[in-house]
Amino acid sequence: MDQELDLRLTQIETKLAWLEDFLTRLQATVVDRSAALDRLDAEHAAMKSRLLQISRDPEEVPNRKPPHY
């Protein structure tokens, strides 16, 4: 009986250790993705701002023929 309980306890401890490791790695991944998303949001805002600025001041855009002409 004690061996069976020891075996079950060992299995539970093994699963718990695996889950703790998994949660730690998952949290690190979520933090990394969140930082990447924050960077993309900032880039998007900068590009949107620049496009709005260009659309308000069209004379800033050079009016040249593309090089393939």
CB 15 within 8 A of CB 21: no
pLDDT, tens digit (0-9, with 9 covering 90-100), for 7-22: 999 999 999 999 999 9
Residue with tokens 């924050």: 38
CB 48 within 8 A of CB 41: no
pLDDT, tens digit (0-9, with 9 covering 90-100), for 35-68: 999 999 999 999 999 989 888 876 665 677 777 7
Sign of CA dihedral 12, 13, 16, 17: negative
Tell me what pLDDT residue 56 has.
83
Tell me what pLDDT residue 32 has.
98
Q: Is the pTM for the entire model greater than 0.85? A: no
Tell me what pLDDT residue 57 has.
77
